[in-house]
Structure 1
Amino acid sequence: MKKISLLIGILLLLSACGSGMKEPTFEELKDHAYIVESTTEEGVFVNYTSFKYIENVKLRTNQGERIKPTNIKKGSLIWYEDTGEIMESYPMQGTIKQLTLYDDELSRRLEKGIAYFLNDYDMSDFIGVQLVSLEGEELIIQFKDFSKPDEVYFATINVEALKYEVIPQ
């Protein structure tokens, strides 16, 4: 009986150690994640580019779970791989063959604040939303004026209270 209990204990310990992926830090998200500015079932607008999905696009979470295009929302943090072909229109257009949705605790917390801001603030003239910094509950993102790309704006978003302030550079 002791051997069975020991074996079960070892199996539980091993499964607990391997069950979750390491959650990204804010710095890793800042360096690798893109903010979805708008989305449809056919694609996303992110990183100054309107992307369509290829026919058999691979959509997954950073935990490895399959997802559908409806799981990706305005404000979601993603990583993507495109086909490498970008049309030089403005905005640019491309095709995504693989997309990973960051779906860990930190990413969902940030997404909540970003989505609130993107849905509440008139972003019709702005583009290129990027993560800048996070201190406690205060997230700073930056974005640019669509018609004047040299004009940079910053938004400080309290991700818990869902309040924000926009500051031009």
Structure 2
Amino acid sequence: MSLEIGQAAPNFSLSNAQGEVKTLSDFSGQWLVLYFYPKDNTPGCTTEALDFTALKPEFAKHNAVVVGISPDSEKSHQKFIDKKELQIELLSDPEHQTAEDYGIWQLKKFMGKEYMGIVRSTFLINPEGKLAHAWVKVRVKEHAQKVLDELQALV
């Protein structure tokens, strides 16, 4: 499935680290930075989460909230949040249905092995729930700042 800028973002219903179910409509009326990452407590994912946490006040100035999604469990997310003092919400997508809905659960290759997994990606969703921008196959370095720059250009 390929998403187009301007179309309604796919809905989701996922649990956060505290076990509370969150849906797309919970974020209506504000910008949503929805970023997908492969695994808690890995180097790239940690850097990305820390970068988004550091910029959280800047996103908030533009009525934007940052939410990360991975296949990890609620318990894993809570450990990650506690260990790294993250200030962003993380949602658990263990069946990777939301990742599939966003088109980023794909065949990956690593060290000669093929497997299905998350392609690190970020979606900027406007207050009306429509896709405003997408970054697929993200490189972590300076990515959070690029997302903030795009948000600032759009608001």
Could you say whether these structures have the same fold, taking a TM-score greater than 0.5 normalized by the shorter chain as the test?
no
| Greater helix share, structure number | 2
- TM-score, structure 1 as length reference: 0.27
- TM-score, structure 2 as length reference: 0.29
Q: Which has the larger radius of gyration?
A: 1
| Greater strand share, structure number | 1
